[in-house]
Structure 1
Amino acid sequence: MFLYTVLISAFLFIVLPFLLLPVVVRKGGELAGWYIRHKTQARRELLLSRAAAEHKQYASEEKNSVNQEDEEWERVESSAGKPVRTQSERDGDWEGIIGFFHPFCNAGGGGERVLWAAIRATQKRWPNSLCIVYTGDHDVDKDAILRRVKDRFNIHLHPPTVNFLYLTTRHYVLSSTWPHFTLLGQSLGSLIVAYDAFSLLVPDILVDTMGYAFTLALSKFLFPDVPTGAYVHYPTISTDMLGSLDEDGKEGGKGVNAGTGKGVKGTAKKAYWRLFARLYSWVGGRVDVVMTNSSWTQNHIKQLWGPSRASNPRASDITVVFPPVAVEELAEEIEVNEASEKNRESSLLYIAQFRPEKNHPLILNAFTQLINSKDWPDDERPKLILIGSVRDNEDAKRVYKLRLLARELNIKDDVEFICDASWPQILDWLRKASIGVNGMWNEHFGIGVVEYQAAGLISVVNASGGPKEDIVIDLDDGPTGFHASTASEYAAAFAKALELGHEETMAMRLRARKSAHRFTEEAFATKWVGQVEKLVQLRRKPR
């Protein structure tokens, strides 16, 4: 009798609480989510009613005009093999709120082009839905953001059905906030920022377009009925990153952490990264729909998230959705023929945000080797053009240091920095330059490289990641550019590209332009809509 009493007591006070703990935690999360949703309901109704009123006003003003966007959408939908819907059928489709988690939406980089193209495709497919962008860009209002989207990317959004909610906690995802344990710190910081976003509004569908996968796990914990999607530009951690810790880092190395895995500190860092990779893998299993921007990213995300996603019944296959590039516009704006070749200069163009991983110093050093390789005639002396957006003071300091480096290398007169260039400025340089450069190791995709190709430039890119695997490939039995890893390899590739004969140069430019047509905005919109359709269906489906 005593034994039975002990066993029953142990079950009631030890085993049962342990078994019930996951249920209690899950229900506690749902209760907290219900409270947040209830608290933000008034803002939700206000935003929906305001969007409906503005949408109606826009519709009446444009009632008698030709709707070019509808024509564009019909081409997208037809290319997907689906019947083209009438406007009334589309209007009556889905009218929920899609939240886009993108705290740096006004940065002006390739990731932002994806965001705005995704919103435009969403607006065309679900014209009565409301797109909400969670951003920390307090210094600009909606009109200023949309104006920059138009000027920088030539993307025209429908203002009534896109809105912005401003975060007050964005600093928690800055690397400067976490000088130690940066990966974990930024990931945990993203949970704070996500809670900030949910406290402003709980969407019907949440999509992370910036790589903060932990925010989607928090969303699942609080709001299990909200489908989640991720557009992954770059895995937060990868097996390549772990391997780079043992690289020597010479002549460009293998990323910003090359060679830091040595000694006691390096061993501890490797252990910490491996533990973080396991946590990152678990988080990825909570995401319903995953899109990657390249086959390189897809392979790594499958390795990291695949095992964890196998236990998620709502999870779909991880799909490559190449980023949208203004290929058609570039082909229309920039000619590639005998006449246009006369206007090309011996210029090397590098379009990239001024961030550490873009490895501008590598390109400056390689360009120095090119300049010093021979005595150049004045009319043939190469020039290096660095174009990129400057997001904050850290980027501005980085540009200053790059200018100092150019001076130290004695090439300051041969290098030009253009910060926050407008689209017309970029077009002008794409017309004039001969070579397009990419210096980042394991660049996730490389929108700038596709822009080079569409403009007919000969690309010299890092022999890794998307530029090597997806973009600068052989086409029609010929190369579309060159690959390099070290400063000396880049310098040699620059020289080879500049020394090509006229016929060979023209043939490579035309092959590059043909290759670029695999990455059009229309192709992106078709695939994007197909994946978001899955999220909409999950939202409609009862739990």
Structure 2
Amino acid sequence: MASLRILTVTLTTLILALIVRILFVVVFHRRKRRNSVGFFHPYTNDGGGGERVLWCAVKAVQEESPDLDCVVYTGDHDASPETLAARAIDRFGVELIRRPKVVHLYKRKWIEETTYPRFTMICQSLGSMYLSWEALCAFTPLYYFDTSGYAFTYPVAWIFGCKIICYTHYPTISLDMLSRVNARNSMYNNDTLIAKSAFFSQCKVIYYKLFSLMYGIVGSHAHLAMVNSSWTQSHIQKLWGIPDRIKRVYPPCDTSGLQMLALERSMEPMKIISVAQFRPEKAHLLQLEAFAAAVKILDADLPRPKLQFVGSCRNEADEKRLQGLKDRAKELKLESDVEFHKNVTYSELVSLLGGAAGGIHSMVDEHFGICVVEYMAAGAIPIAHNSAGPKMDIVLPEEGKQTGFLANTLEEYADAILRIIRMPASQRLEMAAAARKRASHFSEQRFYQDFKSAVRPIMSNTTP
């Protein structure tokens, strides 16, 4: 009994000491809050639409509140104010007013998906809390701005006394994900072993419901939540329960620069472009298989088209995925018909888009779909997945004219590819012109206007 009493006293003492230590750290850093905006974006080299939003958001804050310093929390150890500012210009054509300050994060492994073979979603979310603790201890801003979708960091920022603003591209969990698990559909985020088992599927449904509850609680800490599409807005409103603090701000798309590209272009050979990071949810293999199916039944008198994959790799898993696509292209005997362009510069991307007749996109429930808008602005007819952002916001008729195609299955994608290839030049130009006009609704200028309007009430008082 004595030893048990000693152990209890020891554990109680340690827990109290830990609580006191945490309180001391929080109080200390609350007093040291800087008149600044801290952008939590652990991957500043991913090259995707999220990174474009980051740099446009930084620029918008610099224009709206020039008295605020902009600080970027990044896990990329080679990042510096100079390299990040240069990257914003080279990759996205965004020229910052001032170079951002940089705070390096050394615990990024806690949000790496490779760190958690199972229960990845909850483990990454909890890991993000630890990473945000490191970030806010290193530098405590007046405004904490999450641009990567790590909602579990919001309670941590709230403890540090920050005003919390976020730009949510995609809910970490959605009601659609829950329904797919319930229906036992196998996907990249629902293992086949689980999908085939009624018991494991029910366990995962319970797990998802518990996670949804937690996600709603942490998300409700946001003082302002900007979302990028009608689909995302609908889900976040249901999950977070703060409709009065949610604003839809379409992401910045380079419509002005791309709209200067000529609509008439060489069709020898005709090019179909795919712009997306080499991530599993982007479903590149479906695109490749659909292209192969289209080429197989292509009219003999028509020249063979080319498929151009353009994207970036975040990590080793993405590199393996890219290599797998190359290997599959060889198996399908399409080596001369398929091109791979990795980590291209912004000018190279524009050049590739300027030569494409069509653009393909195949992510299920793509929150928005910046690449689809880029296709349309550049004059490439889009073939997008018939769900979420592309379906609800983007590939809609413009003044009664068709702006592209929506598809679900491999056969539908192959059919859309063939329809673009066989389309008379006059019809293609008419559809491309309508698509370009539709794309103007999602310009970078529109983003800046809507973004500033959303943050102005929150950031009007910049006194710590």
**Taking structure 2 as the reference length, what is the TM-score of the superposition?**
0.91
C-alpha contact (below 8 Å) 2:76/2:104 kept by paired residues = yes
Deviation at 1:31, TM superposition (A): 4.9
Alignment of 1:506-521 (within 5 A): 506-521=429-444
C-alpha contact (below 8 Å) 1:388/1:420 kept by paired residues = yes
* Aligned-residue CA RMSD (Å): 2.2
The equivalent residue for 2:247 is: 319
CA distance in structure 2 between the partners assigned to 1:473 and 1:422 by the alignment? 30
Letter aligned with residue 530 of structure 1: S
Q: Does 1:444 align with 2:367?
A: yes
C-alpha contact (below 8 Å) 1:117/1:324 kept by paired residues = yes
Alignment of 1:310-349 (within 5 A): 316-332=244-260, 334-336=261-263, 340-342=264-266, 345-349=269-273
SS at match of 1:413: coil
Letter aligned with residue 363 of structure 2: M
Unmatched runs of 5 consecutive residues or more in structure 2: 1-17
SS at match of 1:478: coil
Q: Deviations over 1:399-437 (max 9, x none)?
A: 111111112222222111100011121111111110111
Deviation at 1:37, TM superposition (A): 4.0
Alignment CA distance shift 1:291-1:26 (3 Å): farther
Unmatched runs of 5 consecutive residues or more in structure 1: 1-24, 45-95, 311-315
Q: Does 1:129 align with 2:76?
A: no
Deviation at 1:248, TM superposition (A): 6.5
C-alpha contact (below 8 Å) 1:347/1:435 kept by paired residues = yes
The equivalent residue for 1:243 is: 179
CA distance in structure 1 between the partners assigned to 2:133 and 2:374 by the alignment? 37
Deviation at 1:539, TM superposition (A): 5.7
Alignment of 1:219-238 (within 5 A): 219-223=157-161, 226-238=162-174
SS at match of 1:404: helix
CA distance in structure 1 between the partners assigned to 2:187 and 2:386 by the alignment? 11
Kindly name which structure, 1 or 2, has the bigger radius of gyration based on alpha carbons.
1
Pick the aligned partner of 1:527 from 447, 450, 460.
450
Alignment CA distance shift 1:394-1:521 (3 Å): same
Letter aligned with residue 99 of structure 1: G
C-alpha contact (below 8 Å) 2:188/2:280 kept by paired residues = no
Deviation at 1:514, TM superposition (A): 0.3
Q: Deviations over 1:325-360 (max 9, x none)?
A: 11111112x022xxx244674111000000011010
Give percent identity, aligned residues only.
Answer: 37
C-alpha contact (below 8 Å) 1:101/1:209 kept by paired residues = yes
Alignment of 1:59-458 (within 5 A): 96-160=35-99, 162-223=100-161, 226-246=162-182, 256-257=189-190, 260-261=194-195, 262-306=197-241, 309=242, 316-332=244-260, 334-336=261-263, 340-342=264-266, 345-377=269-301, 380-458=303-381
Pick the aligned partner of 1:474 from 387, 397, 413.
397
C-alpha contact (below 8 Å) 2:269/2:304 kept by paired residues = no
Letter aligned with residue 257 of structure 1: N
CA distance in structure 1 between the partners assigned to 2:412 and 2:454 by the alignment? 40
C-alpha contact (below 8 Å) 1:151/1:422 kept by paired residues = yes
CA distance in structure 2 between the partners assigned to 1:221 and 1:121 by the alignment? 27
Deviation at 1:229, TM superposition (A): 0.9
CA distance in structure 1 between the partners assigned to 2:318 and 2:299 by the alignment? 34
C-alpha contact (below 8 Å) 1:245/1:258 kept by paired residues = no
Aligned residues: 445
Q: Deviations over 1:281-317 (max 9, x none)?
A: 11111111011000000001011111xx38xxxxx43
**Taking structure 1 as the reference length, what is the TM-score of the superposition?**
0.78
Deviation at 1:29, TM superposition (A): 6.7
Deviation at 1:27, TM superposition (A): 10
